[in-house]
Structure 1
């Protein structure tokens, strides 16, 4: 049965228009071995501008994550915005689910597009991929920005009570929600000031459009991200790194930001956004953008004013 209206599908159409209007075009890169990555790339490459790679989080595709920022970033950068595997039109038939494999695929996209060195901004799960890209392909990454990306977590942290949930299975019920009740819980966990009222049909529509496809594969991504994770296995990258965290992040508590700062020592700086949860890109995008712009240091960029 055809729905009379889909809020999420309408947002998808608007975001596609917004990305195109800003100066990006969609492209599909076949990396071989059954792996295909969809990526937004510049319509016109400008050699005088540096390059910028934006990596989205687990809950949404690239457009939903970065729409608030795209026009500002394009003012000073050649911007590349891929959908990670099992989001949007990106997929693989290979069995790998690790962030290391995601990073290898992103490196393949950059090579295909002729990008030799780029700045990287990763949001949440995208930060895991960005960190791995920086570790595996250090020559490709100029500067790295990690937004509420708990790369320093350990599997035992859940047992030790760091998180609001007691098991990964419990976390998955709202990280990849399949009922309106779990969508509401997701908003309560990811936002400091969550949306308190949303029609049930809108929440179900979000599930149908955003969180139904590739469900088992995405569960595999989360499991691979957490399984046997230890600080002793985390490489120490050397690129200048900005760590941005929401003061009241319930997905990845702020302690993980301090832990990462200690791990990277003088190569990193930690900024905490006040009165903000995990979804800082939605709750306070202007503050988030301001810190990224200052760190990347491109004079062509200027913060939005309103």
Structure 2
């Protein structure tokens, strides 16, 4: 069975069908300098609608992370769902691995789509990029949602035991699993109630389809977000911001949510979802979407 059928590829095909049925089309855009970004964009963009950009984190591609939310927002927004650099079909030949570079690429992509003002949702690593967008292009972002985004972490947090992993190398092995056991470990730290009893051939299939490309480059992205990071050097943002956190997040613990709320100040609101971990958008999708709709609409 495992040799003739790929559950992951089939699921990916279904999500492509669902995105197309929801009024989006996939486009590939060259940004110059050897950089290409893939993005789901509206088949028909309506100037009367506000724009909403949904930015994914590590793990499966953007479609898997936002499929549940899509139909809630396409009637009211022009929705854009990009693949960040080294995810999906986006890549660059440039050596820059910072989230500020990702943000510049994303802003360039939006400019080429004729989008100069937008609301943005960023999940985990996508929130690092969204935060950098808010810093670099404050006039472009109207509202910002950061979901389980440890943007205020400090390099010393790793040494002081805030995270379940003890080193950068261990973090890479968990966040970019290359074996069924490491994928199971990622599931354990991402969900309060992870799926159990999943056959190894299903996990191997997922790794082959979703986790086998740009492994070294993604490791460099992880290394960059931890490098020389201090809260005192993190710029403050002024856009109305919603922080959504899983109460039992093990990857970016809730302490980082409270820390970020204090750092941003009165323009930020923190919502904590109970019985949820880091993958709160997948574990508690109805609650996640409810809070997004209340804030964005």
- Partner SS state of residue 37, structure 1: strand
Q: CA deviation digits over 1:54-105, x for unaligned, max 9?
A: 0000112111111111111102100000000001110000000010000000
TM-score normalised by structure 1 residue count: 0.96
1:51-62 correspondence runs (5 A): 51-62=51-62
- Aligned counterparts of 2:35 and 2:108: Cα–Cα separation in 1: 10
Query: Is the counterpart of residue 17 in structure 1 residue 11 in structure 2?
Result: no
- Aligned counterparts of 1:216 and 1:165: Cα–Cα separation in 2: 19
1:83-232 correspondence runs (5 A): 83-232=83-232
Correspondence for 1:44: 44
Correspondence for 2:295: 295
- Aligned counterparts of 1:166 and 1:214: Cα–Cα separation in 2: 24
Query: Is the counterpart of residue 284 in structure 1 residue 273 in structure 2?
Result: no
4+ residue runs of structure 1 moved beyond 6 angstroms?
none
- Aligned counterparts of 1:233 and 1:9: Cα–Cα separation in 2: 42
- Aligned counterparts of 1:56 and 1:3: Cα–Cα separation in 2: 30
Correspondence for 1:247: 247
By how many angstroms is 1:125 displaced? 0.3
Aligned length: 296
- Partner SS state of residue 131, structure 2: helix
- Partner SS state of residue 213, structure 2: coil
Correspondence for 1:7: 7
Correspondence for 2:76: 76
- Aligned counterparts of 1:34 and 1:171: Cα–Cα separation in 2: 29
**Alignment RMSD (CA, Å):** 0.9
- Aligned counterparts of 2:151 and 2:38: Cα–Cα separation in 1: 25
- Partner SS state of residue 139, structure 1: coil
By how many angstroms is 1:3 displaced? 3.3
Correspondence for 1:64: 64
Structure 1: gaps spanning 5 or more residues: 298-306
TM-score normalised by structure 2 residue count: 0.98
